[in-house]
Amino acid sequence: MPERDTHLVDLVDLGARRGAAYADARRVEREYEAVSVRDGEVESVTRSGDRGIGFRVLHRGAWGFAATDRTDDMSLRSVVDEAFARAEAAASTRAAAVALAPVAPQRGEYRTTLSRDPFAVPLTERIALLRAADAKLKGPHAVSRRGGIAAYRTHKHLVTSEGTDVQQEIVESGAGLAVTAVKAGAKPAQRYDSRLVRQAGWEFIEHLDLVARATRYRDDAEAMLDAPLAAERPTTLVFTPEFLALLVHESCGHPTEADRVLEHEVAFAGTTFMWPKDRGRLRYGSEHVSMTADATIPGGMGTFGWDDDGVPAMRTKLIDRGTFVGYLTSRETAAALDLPVAIGSARAEGWQHFPIVRMVNVSLDPGTQRYEALLRGVDEGLLIEAPASYSLDDKRQNFHFSTQSARLIRNGALEGYARGVSFQSLTPAFWGRCDGVADDWELHGFLSCAKGEPLQLMRVGHGAAHARFRDVPIEVRG
Amino acid sequence: MTVRGRDAMLVPLQDALRDVKADEAELHVHRRRSAISRYAKNQIHQNAVADETLVQARVVVAKAVGIASANSLDPADLRRLIADATAAARESAPNADWPGLAGPAPLSEPQAYDAETARADARSQADAIKRVTAAATQRACRAAGTHQIELTEDALANTNGIATYAPSTLAYLRALVTSDTGTGWAEDLGWSARSLDPSGVAARAIEKAALDRDRTQLAPGDYEAVFEELAVAEVLRFMSLTGLTGETLRDGRSFMKDRIGEPVTGPRFSLWDDALDPRTLAIPFDVEGTPKQRVALVEGGVAKGVVYDRQSARWFDTRSTGHAADPRRYTVGGHAGNLTMAGGEAKREQLIRATGRGVLITRFHYTNTPDPKRATMTGTTRDGTFLIEDGRITRALANVRYTMSALDLFSGIELLGPQRLARDWWSSNGMGSIVCLCPPIKVARATLTGSSPL
């Protein structure tokens, strides 16, 4: 950990002396290193970093926030002035004061547990791995191949006027592969994954087995070129954990964000169909569907020691055996909805951002049967492997997903490919069709959940297992 | 907001490049000072300002490229940045197709900058919001939205002698008005705060919200349609990303692949990329320092060409058109980000009167492309979707899902209105950087594939 930043204490003290009901100062320093290979050649080696301080005050019942990447005295004084000016401007529009749900002052440090620092892995080793994977991506019709490996490190130090003083060091490792295959007379096929990321060291990259994965992507892309169109009719679908991770993100994670309930995101990300009166009543899915928000899962991209409100990592149920039961909250939104602090979800992408409600690790809970048993229960259906396009309405109620590749299931076994598959549904109707979740739960990570203005791209985690859905109406386009 | 100016932005770059030990080197600094007031339920709930400076170094050693970025113009930090990029280049492999860095070329003057806008403060933003919320409250509605003032300063210098600087400003106000029965949306966008009309924005959003009552659901199918400017910008986004760049042409993913010189849409559709149009939001050079050029993309329905950065220009043995993409958002290969679509004279009422039975679409939410090769877009509408019957709006509709190829949609253009500055949902939220000058249109056919609940 770097040394404690005394600027933060000074800023918070100054905020308190100027009459703020609450003040916090957050210093964030980020490092990023990536190497990418395109068609077997190193396309780029990139190193980046930034650092700065964000200062937030609750003054006259309203928030004001200012951030700078300069740490000279004049810049820091200016940040305080600007935060107060913005709070006063906001207060001139407010009828009700912002309140914060109580949390005890926090002290301590959090560090990612890792076996091998990804920044310490020689570039030659990373490039060699990517080239080996690239060689496997090369099928007879491949026209474009890409691969990348990235490492991220974030130091964060938060000091609040309530006595919280916490430091965190988070390290993440990730990789991505993509292949585009083109054949005369056939629709181009793409197979890719950019969500192979974990709060972990180089050991996660090794765990991914990029070479074997590249072989599978090549085979999928080549097979999709010649695959027959699927039959357009209500179909039993089995989804991979990878696909369900995105479905959970879009159709459960987002609509349970409490700031959507308060209409804070109504003009951008949207609202929700899961209102406070629906808690404990709304049938979200079948009895097989339970979902949990958990900021404590080792390796999760939504795992931390404390959120940016200073709330320690917690775990809470969002969907319990098909019924909507909980929200993701910040201290502000918990107070506004008269909820206890059951999860800390206030996070900012960087020093320059205001903390807002974000997902932590939001996961579909595992079932008890084996994946093979789920498959055996399908006479005729499709295994939906990886998402391609996805589009959702502003309430997260109406969605449309298409897939990069789909496999035919006949008599409980995988048998060839089918193309052109997409599906649209209403969220409760979709999850209501779930008649089984397997026990092969695995964790996925997203780097760029988009929300907030200015836009904040947030790391979030999602766990899921294979799951089966009956009679899903699908669309097929050639 | 304080403008740092040409010398403060450019001189540190030139100084840092003097002693570079590499074949080529480039420094690009992008400073952004963004002040955003977000409001909901008639009151500001987030009010933030951030000032950040992103510096990117590209260093080339024997055709191997290293990239490093940081957020400081301090001389020691710039030296360290160049050293990092040099080390990355030495560790990297040569790019046999490396096109070299750009050389100096004449540039147009920056046009999208207004000093008064750069000086706007938190109180002026709150005052604009109060005009919107007061109008909404008067109609027993509540308003939400964003007021944004942004100042950017870009400077770029390289070892080939480029030394260029451009400031720009952005002013944006959007309002979502919610009544007891529905919602309405309006927004203004420009490079000057004077182009924002809070009262006009409020009035337009309130008018739509008032019409949004007694919604009915529309069955999936093909309908005549009026697409307002924001909806058109959404469709154009997918044309840009899937088909208008050297990279998509090279990969065979572009709808223009093997079709340049052939009709791809109906004759009423023309599209070009023109960052030099004084109405749009742009600076006169791209992130490689190349002057931006006007590029004809589709003329009278006939495919004319795509935009190039230096790398994709090398692939096609041609010259960069000044369309290198922001590397934080897009891959190498070009980016068409200042689209201009030919417009017409038809007023909004004429577009509606020309519709027998169809839908009016104000805007879309969270769109995507299930079929990039056909520039197909899917997305749900929001904040103003109406049924048109016999030339007039008769009912509000539950939001509909639209799924259709842009090429097919634009083949059916029957009437065009005047152009207006508009951004798609993604770009207006910072997830893209495409700005469109585009008209509202009346089309013969739009395919609706579903409806949200009432």
**ipTM score assigned to the predicted complex:** 0.94
Which long-range contacts does B117-120 make (Cβ < 8 Å, 24+ apart)?
B117/B149, B117/B151, B117/B169, B117/B171, B117/B191, B117/B192, B117/B193, B117/B194, B118/B1, B118/B3, B118/B149, B118/B151, B118/B167, B118/B169, B119/B1, B120/B1, B120/B35, B120/B149, B120/B171, B120/B193
218-237 of A, contacting B, C-beta below 8 A? none
Query: Given an 8 Å threshold on Cβ–Cβ distance, is A35 in contact with B92?
Result: yes
Q: Are A118 and A173 spatial neighbours (Cβ–Cβ below 8 Å)?
A: yes
Q: What CATH homologous superfamily does A6-226 map to?
A: PmbA/TldD superfamily (3.30.2290.10)
Whole-number average pLDDT of chain A:
95
Scan for tokens 């027998």, then name that residue. Answer: B356
Give A120 to chain B, closest Cα distance, Å: 14
B134 lies within 8 A of chain A by CB: no
- pLDDT of B149 reads 97
Same domain, B105 and B63: yes
- In chain B, residues with a C-beta closer than 8 Å to the C-beta of A477 are 370-371
> In the predicted model, what is the mean pLDDT of residues A316-332?
98
- pLDDT of A253 reads 96
Say if residue B34's pLDDT is above 90.
yes
Same domain, B318 and B418: yes
Confidence of residue B128 (pLDDT cuts 50, 70, 90): very high
Confidence of residue B410 (pLDDT cuts 50, 70, 90): very high
Same domain, B306 and B330: yes
125-164 of A, contacting B, C-beta below 8 A? 127, 143-144
Last-in-domain residue among B205, B234, B254? B205
Helix pair B75-91, A123-137: axis angle to 10 deg: 50
* Helix, strand or coil, per DSSP, at residue A120: helix
> In the predicted model, what is the mean pLDDT of residues A337-356?
97
d(CA A322, CA A301) in angstroms, rounded, equals 25
A453 lies within 8 A of chain B by CB: yes
- pLDDT of A2 reads 67
Taking only the tens place, the pLDDT of each residue in A243-281 is 999 999 999 999 999 999 999 999 999 999 999 999 999
Last-in-domain residue among B158, B187, B205? B205
- pLDDT of A437 reads 98
Residue B368 CA to chain centroid, in angstroms?
Answer: 15
- In chain B, residues with a C-beta closer than 8 Å to the C-beta of A70 are 51
Same domain, B138 and B261: no
d(CA A86, CA B35) in angstroms, rounded, equals 9
Give A270 to chain B, closest Cα distance, Å: 9
Q: Are A333 and A101 spatial neighbours (Cβ–Cβ below 8 Å)?
A: no
Question: Closest partner residue to A397 among B65, B122, B453, by Cβ?
Answer: B453
Residue A228: both structure tokens together: 């027959």
- pLDDT of B420 reads 97
Taking only the tens place, the pLDDT of each residue in B348-383 is 999 999 999 999 999 999 899 988 889 999 999 999
Confidence of residue B1 (pLDDT cuts 50, 70, 90): low
Question: Closest partner residue to A267 among B174, B332, B370, by Cβ?
Answer: B174
Q: Are A203 and A429 spatial neighbours (Cβ–Cβ below 8 Å)?
A: no
- pLDDT of A42 reads 85
* Helix, strand or coil, per DSSP, at residue A297: coil
B209 lies within 8 A of chain A by CB: no
Question: Closest partner residue to B67 among A44, A65, A263, by Cβ?
Answer: A44
Characterize the bridge pairing of strands A380-392 and B221-227. unpaired
Give B354 to chain A, closest Cα distance, Å: 29
- pLDDT of B332 reads 86
Number of domains making up chain B: 2
Q: What is the DSSP letter of A199?
A: S
Q: Which residues contact A469 (CB under 8 A, 6 or more apart)?
A: A236, A237, A238, A239, A430, A433, A434, A435
Query: Given an 8 Å threshold on Cβ–Cβ distance, is A90 in contact with B43?
Result: yes
Same domain, B134 and B230: no
Same domain, B201 and B218: no
Give A369 to chain B, closest Cα distance, Å: 33
Say if residue B327's pLDDT is above 80.
no
Same domain, B185 and B224: no
Give B454 to chain A, closest Cα distance, Å: 11
Query: Given an 8 Å threshold on Cβ–Cβ distance, is A65 in contact with B431?
Result: no
A46 lies within 8 A of chain B by CB: yes
Same domain, B47 and B148: yes
d(CA A359, CA B284) in angstroms, rounded, equals 39
B246 lies within 8 A of chain A by CB: no
- Cβ-Cβ pairs closer than 8 A, A with B, add up to 252
> In the predicted model, what is the mean pLDDT of residues B424-434?
89
Query: Given an 8 Å threshold on Cβ–Cβ distance, is A392 in contact with B365?
Result: yes
Q: pLDDT exceeding 70 applies to what percent of chain A?
A: 99
B119 lies within 8 A of chain A by CB: no
Q: Which residue of A has its CA nearest to B1?
A: A82
d(CA B195, CA B190) in angstroms, rounded, equals 6
User: Most B CBs within 10 Å: which of A42, A224, A353, as the mutation test of the B interface?
Assistant: A42
- pLDDT of B212 reads 96
User: Most A CBs within 10 Å: which of B43, B74, B238, as the mutation test of the A interface?
Assistant: B43
Q: Are A327 and A319 spatial neighbours (Cβ–Cβ below 8 Å)?
A: no
414-443 of B, contacting A, C-beta below 8 A? 429-431
Taking only the tens place, the pLDDT of each residue in B268-303 is 999 999 999 999 999 999 999 999 999 999 999 999
Whole-number average pLDDT of chain B:
95
d(CA B182, CA B397) in angstroms, rounded, equals 10
Query: Given an 8 Å threshold on Cβ–Cβ distance, is A398 in contact with B450?
Result: yes
* Degrees to nearest 5, angle at CA B253 with B251 and B258: 85
Taking only the tens place, the pLDDT of each residue in A19-52 is 999 999 999 999 999 999 989 988 888 899 999 9
- In chain B, residues with a C-beta closer than 8 Å to the C-beta of A54 are 50
CB atoms within 10 A of CB B18: 7
Same domain, B309 and B342: yes
Give A14 to chain B, closest Cα distance, Å: 19
Taking only the tens place, the pLDDT of each residue in B263-276 is 999 999 999 999 99
Same domain, B352 and B375: yes
Same domain, B147 and B234: no
Give A144 to chain B, closest Cα distance, Å: 6
Confidence of residue A104 (pLDDT cuts 50, 70, 90): very high
CB atoms within 10 A of CB B318: 12
Q: Is residue B1 part of a domain?
A: no
Say if residue B190's pLDDT is above 90.
yes
Q: Are A221 and A142 spatial neighbours (Cβ–Cβ below 8 Å)?
A: yes
Question: Closest partner residue to B378 among A63, A95, A391, by Cβ?
Answer: A391
Per-domain residue ranges for chain A?
6-226, 235-476
Confidence of residue B401 (pLDDT cuts 50, 70, 90): very high
- pLDDT of A43 reads 82
pTM for the model stands at: 0.95
Judging by beta carbons within 10 Å of its beta carbon (0-12, 13-18, 19+), is residue B161 exposed, middle or buried? exposed
Query: Given an 8 Å threshold on Cβ–Cβ distance, is A264 in contact with B430?
Result: no
Q: Which domain holds residue B186?
A: 6-205
- pLDDT of B217 reads 96
Query: Given an 8 Å threshold on Cβ–Cβ distance, is A426 in contact with B96?
Result: no
Q: Determine phi and psi for A258, rounding to 5 degrees.
A: -65, -25
Residue B254 CA to chain centroid, in angstroms?
Answer: 20
Task: Return the CATH number at B93.
Answer: 3.30.2290.10
Confidence of residue A194 (pLDDT cuts 50, 70, 90): low
> In the predicted model, what is the mean pLDDT of residues A5-31?
95
